[in-house]
Amino acid sequence: MRYEYTVETEDLAKYYQLGEVVVKALDGIDLRIRRGEYLSIMGPSGSGKTTLFNMIGGLDRPTRGRVYIDEVDISKLDAYELAWLRCRKIGYIFQTFNLIPVLTALENVTLPMIFAGVPREERMRRAVEILNRVGLGDRLHHKPAELSGGQQQRVAIARALANDPVIVLADEPTGNLDLHTGLEIINMLRQLNVEKGVTIFTATHDLKMIDVSDRIVWIRDGKVDRIEKRVDVVVGMEEI
């Protein structure tokens, strides 16, 4: 089945209780991400970007509202189906890379395929193929600590793609990288989006991301401030 919208959110809200105060990290987000789209969430830190990433990725439970992935309400899934969703439908990329430190690049990429039940030879073949595609064919047996930040993030991209997800979610993917390496990662994500048609959702405040995004959603204090197409983007000084 191919659906028009890969992700839909309906009045999505997340409140945190911090002592006496209720913090509204997200407060009624309605968002639709089309299949094959490259969508970036922009906003200052504390605006709710990461919370939105967690909600869409099924990593945290919303206070109110719903998230649909391929038209399935993820709040209705049981533990098995949720694990399956995270494994098969979504690829995650983090600011801090979050590779498993004791595993090599190759093993990190094969891990999600173990959960997906892919046979061993097939796993190896595909992991090598994907790592080659992200330019790490000569680093297969290196552990994360032996790789640079940019290389670690490329392993993370390869891992996110391992099970052919319908959407790749990236939370500040360039946040820990220098300008040049960050640009490399952004271009790689765009290339995957264009060539393989992978839907990409990034939460970022890296303005370099604007160049490659189809749409940019600006959020502020947990609400959608405005949604723009790339050509319309005008960045004000206060947003930098």
Residues of this chain that interact with other proteins (CB under 8 A) are 54, 57, 59-61, 79-81, 83-84, 86-88, 92, 94, 98-103, 107, 111-112, 114-117, 143, 159
CB closer to other proteins, 60 vs 178: 60
Q: CB of residue 126 vs other proteins: minimum separation in angstroms?
A: 15
CB closer to other proteins, 71 vs 211: 71
Q: What angle do CA 89, 7, 78 make, to 5 degrees?
A: 55
**Could you give the 3-state DSSP secondary structure of residue 216?**
strand
Q: CB of residue 186 vs other proteins: minimum separation in angstroms?
A: 21
CB closer to other proteins, 120 vs 226: 120
Burial degree of 119 (CB within 10 A; 0-12, 13-18, 19+)? exposed
Q: CB of residue 22 vs other proteins: minimum separation in angstroms?
A: 18
Q: CB of residue 123 vs other proteins: minimum separation in angstroms?
A: 11
Q: CB of residue 233 vs other proteins: minimum separation in angstroms?
A: 29
CB closer to other proteins, 21 vs 145: 145
Taking the C-alpha atoms of residue 82 and residue 182, their distance in angstroms, rounded to an integer, is 31
Query: CA-CA distances (angstroms) from residue 22 to 1, 18, 188, 199, 219?
Result: 41, 6, 39, 33, 19
CB closer to other proteins, 49 vs 159: 159
In sequence order, what DSSP letters do the residues of 34-53 get, joined into one string? ETT-EEEEE--TTSSHHHHH
Residue 34, by phi and psi: left (phi above 0), alpha (psi -120 to 50) or beta? beta
How many Cβ atoms are within 10 Å of 63's Cβ, its own excluded? 15
